[in-house]
Amino acid sequence: MSVKERYDIVIIGGGIAGVSAALSCANRGKSAAVIANGAETSSLYKAERITNYPGVSAASGREISELLLRQLEDSGAELIRGRALSVIPLGDSFGVAAGSEFCSCSAVILAPGITREKLYPGEGEFLGRGVSYCATCDGMLYRGRTVAVIGGGSEAAQDADFLESIGCTVLRMTKALRYEIRGGLKADTVLAGGEEYKVDGVFVIKDTVSVTKLVPGLAYADGAIVTDRQMRTNIPGVFAAGDCTGKPYQLAKAAGEGNVAALSACAYIDERKKEN
Ligand SMILES: Cc1cc2nc3c(=O)[nH]c(=O)nc-3n(C[C@H](O)[C@H](O)[C@H](O)COP(=O)(O)OP(=O)(O)OC[C@H]3O[C@@H](n4cnc5c(N)ncnc54)[C@H](O)[C@@H]3O)c2cc1C
């Protein structure tokens, strides 16, 4: 695992909320890294025509996404491509794991959009007990053993290739409509399309990780991260912005919240510096 330098702020999600937050962090002179799946995974990218975003007349979501990406690249924030897997409190800082990267930072802004994918039955229960979200992190534990890789995207295919390259027997599970993970102390069985498969481990590779799994202890209610008007969550140093904080699911709200979350995160860091 490669350890990156310490940033002031790590932003999870490269949609409009995350990019807006990164631009405001840069304006405030804070170092920021944005951990982001590909732009094509954002809600904006899927929008055919945007007509209600001030200053932009009738552009496609894809066009605006491309502009955002360019603006992010020019902002001075570091773009780390990949999926953030966990946010770990480290006393006065946080560690954020993303594939083979590990970043530390003073504050975190969550901007992952909304997760429409539900957990598979057994996924949450066996996470860390035979279920993993990261082949790079945990693959070696299963060397010479049989694992299932559940997921249809390119990352799932790459992870399956990697696991095979280190000597795992890999069951690639892309087609079934429903999966269920079962076991005793550890996950040992996957049910897929009515068939039962015996496995030693299960890698679930989706574009997103549910925010309550990403940040243990995060207050979450009615399908949204709970925040105050400064976009502070219940965890000091963790802020949230965009669709992940609830309705309305609109670009203007997401961009505005990204800006507020960044200013609040900068103020939080400055306050902590004064105290120490
Ligand atoms: C079809 C459609 C049409 C729409 N039309 C309009 C419209 O006309 N007007 C309007 O105002 N709004 C519209 N919206 C809503 C608008 O697109 C969203 O409100 C806005 O994009 C939300 O921005 P966001 O940054 O919060 O989330 P997103 O745009 O979803 O971006 C979040 C990003 O974070 C990534 N991510 C998630 N988890 C992780 C992780 N663990 N690690 C790394 N990256 C992660 C996601 O993959 C995604 O790329 C539309 C949405 C859709 C789906």
**Model confidence pLDDT, tens digit, residues 86-105:** 999 998 899 999 877 899 99
Cα distance between residue 98 and residue 33, in whole Å: 12
Beta strands across the sheet bearing 169-173: 131-132, 201-204, 146-150, 169-173
Give yes or no for residue 37 CB within 6 A of ligand 1: yes
- Residue 3, pLDDT > 70, answer no
Kindly indicate the confidence band of residue 4, based on its pLDDT and cuts at 50, 70 and 90. low
Spatial separation of the C-alpha atoms in residues 55 and 174, rounded to whole Å: 42
Terminal-residue alpha carbon distance, the chain = 31
CB-CB contact of 16 with 72 (8 Å): no
d(CA 185, CA 190): 15
When the pLDDT of each residue in the chain is averaged and rounded to a whole number, the result is 92
Q: 123 C-alpha vs ligand 1 centroid, how far in Å?
A: 24
Does residue 251's CB lie within 6 angstroms of at least one atom of ligand 1? yes
Task: Out of 52, 65, 249, give the residue to mutate to test ligand 1, the one with the largest number of ligand atoms within 8 Å of its CB.
Answer: 249
Ligand 1 pocket residue status of 2, Cβ below 6 Å: no
Mutate to test the pocket of ligand 1, among 16, 43, 49, 108 (most ligand atoms within 8 A of CB): 43
Identify the pLDDT of residue 2. 63
Mutate to test the pocket of ligand 1, among 71, 134, 251 (most ligand atoms within 8 A of CB): 251
What is the per-residue pLDDT across 11-36, written as a single tens digit (0 to 9) for each? Answer: 999 999 999 999 999 999 999 999 99
Reported as a pLDDT band with limits 50, 70 and 90, residue 135 is confident
Cβ of 78: how many Cβ atoms within 10 Å? Answer: 18
115 alpha carbon – ligand 1 mean position (Å)? 10
Which run of H or E residues covers position 94? strand 93-98
**72-90: pLDDT as tens digits:** 999 999 999 988 999 999 9
- Residue 1: the pLDDT is 58
Residue 111 Cα to ligand 1 midpoint, Å, equals: 9
What are the pLDDT digits (tens) for 171-228? Answer: 999 877 789 999 999 999 999 988 999 999 999 988 777 898 899 999 999 889 999 9
